[in-house]
Amino acid sequence: MAKKKSEENVKKVNNPNVMGLHAQVQDQEITDTLEVNYMPYAMSVIVSRAIPEIDGFKPAHRKLLYTMYKMGLLTGGRTKSANIVGQTMRLNPHGDAAIYETMVRLSKGYQALLTPFVDSKGNFGKVYSRDMSYAASRYTEAKLSSICAELFRDIDSDTVDFVDNYDATMKEPSLLPTTFPNVLVSANTGIAVGMASNICSFNLEEVCRTEIEYLSDPDCDIMATLRAPDFPTGGEVIYEPQALREVYETGRGSVKLRARWRYDKKENLIEIYEIPYTTTAEAVMDKVEELVKTGKLREISDMRDETDLTGLKLTVDLKRGVDPEKLMAKLMRLTPLQDAFACNFNILIAGTPRVMGVREILSEWTAWREESVRRRVFADLTKKKDRLHLLRGLGKILLDIDKAIAIIRGTEEEREVVPNLMIGFGIDEIQAEFVAEIKLRNINKEYILKRLEDIEKLEAEIADLEDVLKNRRRVKSIIKSELENVIKKYAEPRKTGIVYAHEIPEPEEEPEDDYQVTVFFSKGGYLKKITAQSLRMSGEQKYKEGDGLQCSFEAKNSSELLVFTDRYQCYKTRLSDFPDAKASSLGTYVPTQLKMEDGENAIYICDPGDYRGSLLLMFENGKAARIQLSGFETKTNRKKLTGAYSDKSPLIGFLPVFEDFEAAAYTSDGRCLVFSTALLTPKPTKNTQGVAVVTLKRQRTVTELRRLEETSVKNAGRYRVRSIPAAGALLRDEDREEQQLSLLGGDGDE
């Protein structure tokens, strides 16, 4: 039957009246499809687009810079950016917009790099601004920065391999022979398939000094010379030795950054002039506006973005009597003015992505640079040997120049000159060709003596170059001298300051306005926080159509909340993060407020108090788990806990347990079981499957869990058990909640 249906589908596809195409549908395993179609794409993104290589560049960067180099923009004047973009398309087929965005990021005007490689003129936007867009490529101009001389030094001396471009019409370098570890100097971010890279930038001089120390001693203390990351937007690095050491050793970790500011006492305002590299001025402004609207920031009367040609400036007007130090500490805590850079030093080494620490990166760069220097020396050595070979042939002839002249004059045909010289002096064809091209004016004593001196000089240089190739110490010495030259020419002071963590006072948690509230949580995931006064004045609670109350409880405005979801996760928040509401409002939609995953729903909320109680969870299969609330208490500020409860059976209900009480479990076959929570031992493991409480017949389930006092059970003794598991008892009509309404009739009297 299936085969017949498949044949019908093929006939349908082959019918041009149906599809307009002649094609054949073939079944294919999904694994084969992934291997044939998806894997090549994934590898292309990883190897050829998103992850930087040991020279510190992605292919798009390299293609752009090499095009500009071939255009003569290293020493010449600027040209229109549109011209550069057009020329780069010979190497980069991904479109002019992508190429221009690459140029913008490498430019001096955009300020994304400590050592920009494009000397730009015009509006290139700013890395610290989300809304400040760059001008079109027809309006801006660019050339290569002077430091690019260190990127292309000796590129024509076989220092790197050249490969075909995408249509094999020209060659391009596979890497750029950078004379300094640019991979650590230039910040780089890339998202590939299944992996990413996020490399922070370090000060050029510090990187070069560290590499020099590493060349002398591979076991040197890197933290002694490479003090901390340095970012082009300035700000301050919060120096935490252990966290920084983790980044240096593993290539993973985070670095905390904070803004720089100054206080104008006369005007009673604060000027923020440097912000973390990871944020933008607009993000800071938006967050402050949100805090002001929610009433969490009352010390500010106004905040303006006064950024101009001199640079970034966010101005904060303070209310009278506000302490600027305390306000900035609060802003650092609540806004992106203090942020973290997540490091992921993922670099392509010989086509393979590897996450490496700083020492390993220096090791790989050193090995690659040594190879580049050897290739350059070998290319120079080959040229000198070729030159020496020519001069030695010339030397043989110059010893008897008259004989050479006689051979040339006595040769009847021009094509016989070279063979006759080869026979007459015992030299090879290359030497004879060189001799035959000598000008008549050079046949003099001075020329002969100079050429003989050149032979001695070349022999000494060749011996020296051969010694370099044999001696690794000399190769390292060359690299060191080049690094010293880079420091001398291009070193600049740090832009990002360093402040030690212990010097920063601990931010004081401001006490929230603590008042009594009643929390209403609906089945649809809406939360209302209503004050006692508003509750007294309000009428009936309003819900969306089809929604209703799930639970309600009294709490303090400063209380912490645990929010459980249908994805077995628990979110931690505070009631103070929710605005006060009225009974007539729908409330705040919790999944949106907590930025839950798409399709994730909140199913229960709990006030854990001091985390000394427990949480009773009942599952559909009759098992119940009593979990210690302390398992949800975290020392850090984690906002989401995964694996918050067991996923082995659907969850029926939650009940907080601060003191033991009796609970009632209802089953799908009309039974009820009353048991004490004291029968269940609290467990520290959050995702425990629990223990059997209700004994169920086949295809029967538990449908509800409630506190006994919240039920309509009148004769609790009928359903109460002293041990578990138990089957419970069938509900009597008087213990059911569904009571039939009696129709009361009158006798007609009015």
Residue 738: per-residue pLDDT: 56
Could you give the CA distance from residue 324 to residue 190 in angstroms, rounded to a whole number? 38
Answer yes or no: are the C-beta atoms of 558 and 517 closer than 8 Å. no
Same-domain check for residues 91 and 149: yes
* DSSP string across 657-669: ESS--EEEEEETT
Task: Indicate whether 408 belongs to any domain.
Answer: yes
pLDDT value for 298: 83
Dmax of the chain from CA atoms? 156
Q: How many CA atoms within 13 Å lie on the side-chain side of 721?
A: 19
Kindly state whether residues 614 and 729 are assigned to the same domain. yes
CATH number of the domain that residue 291 is part of = 3.30.1360.40
Distance CA 99, CA 82 (A): 10
Say yes or no: 720 and 622 in one domain: yes
Question: Cβ contacts of residue 253 below 8 Å, gap of 6+?
Answer: 243, 244, 246, 247, 342, 343
Helix, strand and coil percent figures for the chain, each rounded to 5: 35, 25, 40
Residue-range definition of the domain harbouring residue 275: 260-336
* The predicted structure's pLDDT at residue 739: 40
Alpha helices (H) along 71-126: 81-88, 96-106
Place of tokens 């490498």: 106
In a domain, 276, yes or no: yes
- Token pair recorded at residue 58: 């992605």
The DSSP secondary-structure symbol of 694 reads B
Q: Are residues 443 and 534 in the same domain?
A: no
Look at the alpha carbons of 674, 678, 683, 686 in this order and tell me if their dihedral is positive or negative.
positive
**Residue 601 backbone dihedrals phi, psi, to 5 degrees:** -125, 145
Instruction: Say if 197 falls within a structural domain.
Output: no
Cβ(340)–Cβ(636) below 8 Å: no
Structural domains in the chain (count): 5
Q: Answer yes or no: are the C-beta atoms of 549 and 520 closer than 8 Å.
A: yes
- What is the torsional sign of CA 136, 139, 143, 146? negative
- Domain check: are 384 and 297 in the same one? no
Q: Do 480 and 208 form a contact (C-beta atoms < 8 A)?
A: no
Tell me: do 279 and 393 sit in the same domain.
Answer: no
Q: CA 563 to CA 548: how far, in whole Å?
A: 18
Is 214 a catalytic site residue? no
3-class SS of residue 271:
strand
Last residue of a domain, one of 128, 162, 178: 178
322 DSSP 8-state letter: -
Q: Within 10 Å of residue 602's Cβ, how many Cβ atoms?
A: 25
Residue that is last in its domain, among 121, 144, 178: 178
Asked if 388 and 460 sit in the same domain, the reply is yes
597 and 621 in a single domain? The answer is yes
What's the CA gap between 425 and 415, in Å, rounded?
A: 17
Tokens of 636: 């850090």
| Cβ-proximal residues to 572 (8 Å cutoff; 6+ apart), any chain | 560, 561, 562, 563, 632, 634, 638, 639, 640, 641
Residue 504, CB-side half-sphere exposure with 13 Å CA sphere: 21
Pull the structure tokens for residue 412: 């009847």
**Residue 313 within a domain:** yes
Q: Between the CA of residue 201 and those of 108, 185, 196, 299, 341, what are the distances in Å?
A: 15, 5, 16, 36, 11
Token pair 């190897």 in the structure block, residue: 47
Torsion of CA 555, 559, 565, 568, to 10 degrees: -120
How many other C-beta atoms are found inside a 10 Å radius of the C-beta of residue 516? 12
Q: List CB contacts of 458: < 8 A, sequence separation 6 or more.
A: 384, 387, 388, 391
Asked if residue 320 is part of any domain, the answer here is yes
Q: Which of 451, 468, 500, 310 is CA-nearest to residue 378?
A: 468
Long-range contacts of 536-544 (CB under 8 A, 24+ apart): 538/582, 538/583, 538/584, 539/583, 539/584, 540/583, 541/583, 542/583, 542/584, 542/585, 542/586, 543/586, 544/586
Beta-bridged to residue 570, according to DSSP, are 564, 641
Residues 449 and 527 both lie in one domain: no
Contact 724, 679 (CB under 8 A): yes
Q: What is the pLDDT of residue 9?
A: 45
Judge if 455 and 560 occupy the same domain: no
Q: What gap in Å lies between CA 750 and CA 419, rounded to an integer?
A: 144
Catalytic residue among 41, 139, 166, 500: 139
Looking at the chain, how many residues does it have? 750
In this structure, what CATH number is given to the domain that contains residue 727? 2.120.10.90
Q: Which of 336, 355, 373 is the last residue of a domain?
A: 336
Q: Are strands 497-500 and 236-239 parallel, antiparallel or unpaired?
A: parallel
Name beta bridge partners: 541.
none
Residue 291: inside a domain = yes
3-state DSSP of 173-214: ECCCCCCCCHHHHCCEEEECCCCEEEECCCCHHHHHHHHHHH
Round to whole Å and give the CA distance between 679 and 692.
Answer: 11
Distances in Å between the alpha carbon of 546 and those of 269, 551, 587, 704? 52, 16, 15, 19
Q: Which residues lie closer than 8 Å to 658 by C-beta, 6 or more apart?
A: 609, 612, 613
Q: Record the pTM.
A: 0.69
Give the C-alpha separation, 241 to 275, whole Å. Answer: 22
Q: Under a CB-based contact definition with an 8 Å cutoff, are residues 580 and 532 in contact? A: no
- Asked if 527 and 521 touch (Cβ cutoff 8 Å), the reply is yes
d(CA 550, CA 566): 15
Q: Residue 406: CA atoms inside 13 Å, Cβ hemisphere, count?
A: 6
Q: Is residue 187 part of a domain?
A: no
Residues 539, 420, single domain; the answer is no
Give me the sign of the Cα torsion angle 532, 533, 534, 535.
Answer: positive
Residue 332's alpha-carbon distances to 278, 288, 327, 505, 520, in angstroms, are 14, 11, 9, 12, 33
The reported pLDDT for the residue numbered 508 is 61
Which residues, at least 6 apart from 304, have a Cβ–Cβ distance to it below 8 Å? 314, 315, 317
In a domain, 457, yes or no: yes
Inter-residue contact 203 to 234 (CB < 8 Å): no
**What DSSP string describes 370-413?**
HHHHHHHHHHHHHHHHHHHHHHHHHHHHHTTHHHHHHHHHH-SS
* Amino acid 487: pLDDT: 96
Q: Give the pLDDT means over successive 10-residue stretches in the chain (750 positions).
A: 46 45 65 82 85 94 96 93 95 92 96 95 94 94 96 93 93 95 94 91 96 95 95 95 94 94 92 95 93 83 91 92 91 93 94 94 96 95 92 80 84 86 88 84 76 85 94 95 96 95 71 76 91 79 87 86 91 86 88 89 89 91 92 75 89 90 92 92 89 91 91 88 90 71 36
Structure tokens at 366: 């050193």
Residues 445 and 588 in one domain: no
pLDDT at residue 205, rounded to an integer: 96
- 163: domain CATH number is 3.90.199.10
Are 669 and 702 a contacting pair, CB within 8 Å? no
Q: How far apart are CA 473 and CA 714, in angstroms?
A: 94
- The closest alpha carbon to 664, from 673, 655, 651, belongs to 673
CATH number at residue 484: 1.10.268.10
